[in-house]
Structure 1
Amino acid sequence: MFARPETVKSALRVALLVGVMAVVAACTATYRKHGWVPGPDLLSEVVVGVDTRDSVAETIGEPTIESLVDDSGYYYVTSRVKFFGAREAKVVSRDLVAITFDRAGVVDSVQRYTLADGRVVPLERRVTDSSIEDKTFLRQLIGNLGNFNPGSFLQ
């Protein structure tokens, strides 16, 4: 009816071993890679002063980010991010290739940057903040007391 002591000990050892393996596996760092940067062989095919936007896109591929303000460049970005347990994710490496164009759309320069070249530049979309961030329901209600027209309720 009762298990033998040797069986209980071996079951506890197996459970302990599984538990230790689970803890070790949970504390292992994982890495994710996002984006793509062309290698030196592809970049050597881009000729400064000769190639245009279309020829660069055809040779290398579409950029990760395209300059939206003045159409001055193509930007190819790759990032490697380290995740370790519950800690905040950390950018381990970031490579950026910037191909700039002159006003005529001809390649002006090809430059490569890494994290070692300067500070970390967060690549994120900027969103306009809401004006009701710090207002409670009661403040919003009181603030709107004078903002309605009683005549609109009568119609």
Structure 2
Amino acid sequence: MHLFKATVIAAAVFTVTACSERFRNHGYAPTDGDLAEVAVGVDTRDSVIERFGPPTTGGVRTDSGIYYVQSQFRLYAYQAPSEIDREVVAISTDADGVVSNIERFTLEDGQVVALSRRVTDSNIEGVSFLRQLLGNLGNLDAGSLLDDA
């Protein structure tokens, strides 16, 4: 009977802890207090990186700006993780590397910031393998087959 009670208690504890929500933080974004120390028109890209560390990502061009991204995800039982909070701090710089603007975006702002987008169009969507294979049969050139060079 003692073993049965211990098993029931262990199962109850396991069930309760398995269904509790957990939170996971990713990245880093400077606080408003930290950003108040950055002087627009005075500080440079290098001084910002020295103060806050390397950015999460940067612009395509080195003089376009740097971005610090911080996200919080909610993990609950078997469900896929959901992002509940995101902050993106965008520090724009001019061609000389001097800070020209500081902006903060959150999920509530509804601003979509595409940090990386690489799309390659294959032009074969909806075409089966057999159709691709048979489609090349008509593209043979008799001159290239008979050429001895």
Compared CA separation, residues 140 and 24, structure 1 to 2 (3 A): farther
Shift in CA distance, 76/41, structure 1 to aligned 2, threshold 3 Å: same
Secondary structure in structure 2 of the residue aligned to 1:116? helix
Contact kept in structure 1, 2:55 and 2:68, CA below 8 Å: yes
Match of 1:37 in 2: 29
Structure 1 residues 32 and 127, CA, compared in 2 at 3 Å: closer, same or farther? Answer: farther
Preserved contact between residue 43 and residue 60 of structure 1 (Cα < 8 Å) = no
Q: TM-score, normalised by structure 2?
A: 0.77
CA distance in 2, matches of 1:19, 1:148: 69
Q: What is the count of residue pairs matched by the alignment? A: 146
Which of 60, 74, 87 is 1:82 aligned to?
74
* Inter-partner Cα distance in structure 1 for 2:13 and 2:122: 46
Give SS of 1:113's match. strand
Shift of 1:69: 4.6
Q: CA separation in 2, counterparts of 1:51 and 1:84?
A: 43
d(CA) in 1 for partners of 2:116, 2:9: 43
Gaps of 5+ in 2: none
Computed over aligned residues only, the root mean square deviation of the Cα atoms, in angstroms, reads 2.9
Question: 1:13 and 1:51 mapped to 2: Cα distance?
Answer: 66
Structure 1 residues without counterparts, runs of 5 or longer = 1-8
Question: Looking at CA atoms only, which structure, 1 or 2, has the larger radius of gyration?
Answer: 1
